[in-house]
Amino acid sequence: MAEPAETTSETGPAVFTGNLAASPPLPPESVAAANRLMEAGRLFRYGEAGGAPSEAALLEEEFAALTGGRYCVAVNSCGCALFLALAAAGATRGDKVLLNAFTLAPAVGAIAHLGAEPVLVEVTPDLVIDIEDLTAKAEASGAKYLLLSYMRGHIPDMDRVMAACETAGITVIEDCAHATMATWDGKPIGRFGAAGCFSAQGYKHLNGGEGGLIVTEDADLAARAILMSGSYMLYAQHRARPEMETMARWRGTMPNFSMRMNDLAAAVLRPQLPLLAGRVERWREIHGRIAARLTQSNRIRLPAPDPRAYLAPTSLQFLLEEMDGPAIEAAVAAAAARGVAIKWFGAAEPVGFTSRPEHWGFLPPQPAPAATEAVLARLCDIRLPVGLTDAECDLIAGIVLDAVSENAPN
């Protein structure tokens, strides 16, 4: 971080003075690309008269290469990417869509947007989908779609999830908003289901302000998503698209939902792609360093990732054991007083980006996912800006350890 973030006052314990909500500045190449586009007045991805490839078309090509996917469609947000991917995969009004109950509100929103019915599936204390419950809910509901949300980047046993879905005839759409660059057994996350959806919202791995990317191997799904994203009859300007015969098969039958990516967002995103792998490595070090220190407390339980998963964390989660709501609130307040913002998923009202099923008053009636609610009642979350130094990581870990030990009952 740019400013000195550590101060040790003579009268009290050390305070973290950095900003956990900060995003790093964009690379100079992003700023230059944005300026070029603004000077040219060309902020829309399609040109009626053709011309040079748009930034969005190039981003799609480059993101497809990065993830090893065949087709890629850039849109205005990951929430819209999820909606379009579900729609392009054939999900429609009234369909039931399975969704793990630990997720961000836009995932459940994408299903509601479609007029479909979310069917909530439990997560385990390791924050991944509970595969037994997935199988049971699939059977009970007859759902043929799963929106698999890697909330906060946690990856389930993909071999078992995909096998269970194949047996039940379920089409999987992956919500990779927190899992960009993550892999399972060497295969990129986002390439397991019919489509993978990524976010370029400023708080994720890539900062386009807003933005979403759909990656798929399915030519028909890609064609439908391109047309529904609002390509008009200018879809030939896409580069990571299916053959024109496939496009022609669907043109004229797909509604235009106007969910295109702004070319300015694409311009600032492209120079970030080559930096991603290095950033994820640093994020992993930051996460690992803090997590290793937190294991000193017997009140803190860290999710145990499967060794086959290569995670790309941008935040850190832990469960507080044997602490009730008021004790957790006191620990959160003690950390906040020393500059460390801990988000608690158990709060009565949603705060910031946290929410949980009981806050989604639009859901169709269904039994509350009790196991997930019990996990979320203990779940804490800390955002990790990629610019944290090792000293800052140690300070943050120390503050969390103090806050917990001071407020845990003996």
Closest CA to 114 of 143, 91, 88: 91
Q: For residue 270, give both structure tokens.
A: 């492209």
Q: How far is CA 57 from CA 63, 260, 325, 345, in A?
A: 10, 11, 49, 38
Contacts with ligand PLP: how many residues (CB under 6 A)? 15
Cβ pair 152, 178 in contact under 8 A: yes
The reply on whether position 154 binds ligand PLP by CB under 6 A is no
- Binds ligand PLP (CB under 6 A): choice among 77, 183, 315, 354: 77
Nearer to ligand PLP by Cβ, of 107 and 194: the residue is 107
Site mask for ligand PLP (CB under 6 A), range 273-292, x = bound: --------------------
Question: How far is it, in rounded angstroms, from Cα 263 to Cα 249?
Answer: 27
- Helix pair 131-141, 158-168: axis angle to 10 deg: 10
Pick out residues in 195-254 that bind ligand PLP (CB under 6 A): 199, 201, 212
Question: Nearest distance from residue 82's CB to ligand PLP, in Å?
Answer: 7
Cβ pair 342, 380 in contact under 8 A: yes
Q: How is 236-296 classified by DSSP, letter by letter?
A: GG-SSS--HHHHHHHTTSS-----BPPHHHHHHHGGGGGGHHHHHHHHHHHHHHHHHHHTT
Site mask for ligand PLP (CB under 6 A), range 101-120, x = bound: --xx-xx-------------
- Binds ligand PLP (CB under 6 A): choice among 100, 124, 149, 297: 149
- What type of residue sits at position 120? L
Question: Nearest distance from residue 197's CB to ligand PLP, in Å?
Answer: 8
Nearer to ligand PLP by Cβ, of 96 and 204: the residue is 204
- Binds ligand PLP (CB under 6 A): choice among 5, 164, 177, 280: 177
3-state secondary structure of 186: coil
Nearer to ligand PLP by Cβ, of 211 and 339: the residue is 211
Question: Nearest distance from residue 106's CB to ligand PLP, in Å?
Answer: 4
Nearer to ligand PLP by Cβ, of 107 and 247: the residue is 107
Q: For residue 338, give both structure tokens.
A: 């020393």
The reply on whether position 385 binds ligand PLP by CB under 6 A is no
Question: How far is it, in rounded angstroms, from Cα 119 to Cα 117?
Answer: 6
Who's near 90: CB < 8 A, 6+ residues apart? 171
Nearer to ligand PLP by Cβ, of 54 and 77: the residue is 77
Cβ pair 59, 278 in contact under 8 A: no
Question: Nearest distance from residue 343's CB to ligand PLP, in Å?
Answer: 13
The reply on whether position 78 binds ligand PLP by CB under 6 A is yes
Which span (10-18, 66-74, 76-84, 241-249) binds ligand PLP, by CB under 6 A? 76-84
Q: How is 354-394 classified by DSSP, letter by letter?
A: ---GGG-TTSPS----HHHHHHHTTEEEEE--TT--HHHHH
The reply on whether position 75 binds ligand PLP by CB under 6 A is no
- Binds ligand PLP (CB under 6 A): choice among 18, 69, 79, 346: 79
Which span (2-10, 51-59, 72-80, 221-229) binds ligand PLP, by CB under 6 A? 72-80
Question: How far is it, in rounded angstroms, from Cα 215 to Cα 68?
Answer: 9
Cβ pair 214, 197 in contact under 8 A: yes
Nearer to ligand PLP by Cβ, of 174 and 392: the residue is 174
Q: How far is CA 205 from CA 30, 93, 277, 279, in A?
A: 15, 32, 10, 8
The reply on whether position 178 binds ligand PLP by CB under 6 A is yes
Which span (7-15, 62-70, 118-126, 173-181) binds ligand PLP, by CB under 6 A? 173-181
Question: Nearest distance from residue 408's CB to ligand PLP, in Å?
Answer: 29
Question: Nearest distance from residue 211's CB to ligand PLP, in Å?
Answer: 7
**Residues at the interface with ligand PLP (CB under 6 A):** 77-79, 103-104, 106-107, 149, 151, 175, 177-178, 199, 201, 212
